[in-house]
Amino acid sequence: MKDVGQKMAKGAAWMVFFKLTERSIGLISTIILARLLIPEDFGLIAMAMSIIAILELLGAFGFDVAIIQNQTAERKHYDTAWTYNVLFAISSTLVLALLASPAAIFYHEPRLENVIYLLALGNLIRGFENIGVLEFRKNMTFDKEFKFQLGKKLAGFFTTVPLAIILGSYWALVAGMLMGWFMGVILSFMLHAYRPRFSLAASHELFHFSKWLLITNLFNFIKIRSADFIIGRLSGPQALGLFTISYEISNLPTTELVAPVNRAVFPGYAKISNNMAALREGFLKVLAMIAIFALPAGMGIAATSEPLVLVFLGSNWIDSIPLIQILAVFGATLALQTNTGSVFLALGRPKILAVIGAIHISLLVPALMVLVSNNGSIGAAWGYLVVTLLMLPINFGFIMFYTKLKFSPIVSVLWRPIMASTTMYFVVTMILDYLGQSDKFILNLSYLLFTVAIGAIVYILLVIALWRLTGSPHGAENDLMDTLKNRLKIG
């Protein structure tokens, strides 16, 4: 069990390192592109991706999860999963070609048709990605996973940015996506020796586990993409572009950083799923680590949204400030709930995820329809935040029931980062209110750097003080202090 825990920790570290690298590239790319392109360009691509995401549901059976969860998976399972990926890619590409024109009519956006045709071609290409790279996650060799994912990201970056400078249009975004998908296929065969064959021998076994994942993925699609359809239809590409970039910026250090942690710990959860005490302990450790980093990151972005936008995005994006404020808090709240899904999958209970997803969308979709029609994209942001807050006790309720986890340990790992990050938020906002607004880049940059530094100091000192006052209980703070001491000794 100790070896599995060490692999989980190492894997999580690798994936966090990758995500930090990836999101740094993504942040640089977004900053550059926001200066070169206009919100409408991003909104147009978001419209196209909302259509493509519908078709991705054809292949959203989560065969990769089924293979990782199955500790005795054989070649037939890998070959069957790859065969279905190819078949789904071909089918979805044909359907995309048929949907291109109706989608343009639905959104009242004629430029959308040609964009979808090109992205449909990319969708076909990425369906042939080598299933062998799944071994990187299953065996927790995350250094190889890091190289694979980073290679795709860099290919898209070095295509998109130069073309944005040259073309100054949304076609740069399309080209970058196509190059990333194409490079994913090339790298998958370069980095892993596995050569898949066409086979459907393990169909029954894979579908038996994955049928609930399909339903869960359907619900996740509705959660993520419903705002795209509603905002795009009711408010147009300008409003959708503002919402899309606001969502990306506000969630960079929260859900985007937490996702690789969950990706890394899931194989470890699967290996200890027959030991409920170890599973509970692992869940609490991961939850504590997510909370101590995600909460201050989200609240910090919410507090500094104004200088952040003025420095990095420019005056064209001024309307995104209130969106970022709300969505940053949403991202921090959502991050606390993402770890529960990995536990249910490890336990072989994907049906629970489907139930939770059904509850979520039954609350979210009506809220978005009402709030967007009355308040536009700002209404969508409020809808996401309110529903995610309502889902927090529901998610923890399910995890407590199925793992026999008590409520007090959850509170124990969450209350200190919640209190410290909330205090930090009010301190930073009061400082910015005192400093006032400025239209000068240097002043805004100075305000941003100053308040980020103050916020970090306030948060760290308060977390340590609360931890010490409560008798230095074992938790994320303890692990971080031990790691820091070991690093200093090595140095």
pTM above 0.75, yes or no: no
Please name the residue that has the structure tokens 């296929």.
185
- Note the Cα 376 to chain centre separation in Å: 24
Q: Is 404 helix (H, G, I), strand (E, B) or coil?
A: coil
Q: How many CA atoms lie within 13 A of 344 on its CB side?
A: 26
Q: What is the pLDDT of residue 61?
A: 61
- One DSSP character per residue, 168-218 reads -STHHHHHHHHHHHHHHHHHHHHH---------TTHHHHHHHHHHHHHHHH
Closest to 476 in 3D by CA, of 295, 254, 298: 295
* Closest-CA residue to 306 (of 444, 426, 421): 444
Unique residue bearing structure tokens 């000192």: 461
Q: Give the Cα separation of 302 and 261 in Å (integer).
A: 23
Q: Which amino acid is present at 452?
A: V
Dig out the tokens for 316 from the structure.
């064209």
What's residue 134's pLDDT?
A: 82
Domain residues for 153?
A: 2-490
DSSP 439: S
The CA angle 107-246-253, to the nearest 5 degrees, is 135
- The pLDDT assigned to 5 comes to 47
> What is the number of other CB atoms lying within 10 angstroms of the CB of residue 439?
8
pLDDT mean for each 10 residues of the chain (491 residues): 48 53 68 78 83 66 70 82 88 88 88 90 89 78 76 88 88 90 92 89 74 70 77 80 83 66 71 84 87 90 91 83 93 88 83 88 91 89 94 94 92 92 95 84 89 94 90 73 57 44
Whole-angstrom Cα distance, residue 423 to residue 466? 12
Count of the separate structural domains present in the chain: 1
CA dist 28 → 131, 153, 180, 310, 321 (Å): 31, 12, 17, 15, 19
Burial 362-377 (b: 16+ CB within 10 A, else e): ebbbebbbebbeeebb
Whole-number pLDDT of residue 251: 77
Contacts of 347 (CB under 8 A, 6+ apart): 273, 279, 402
In 341-481, DSSP assigns E strands to none
Please compute, for residue 278, the number of CA atoms within 13 A of its CA located in the half-sphere on the CB side. 17
Which residue reads 């399972």 in tokens? 77
For residue 430, the model assigns a pLDDT of 94
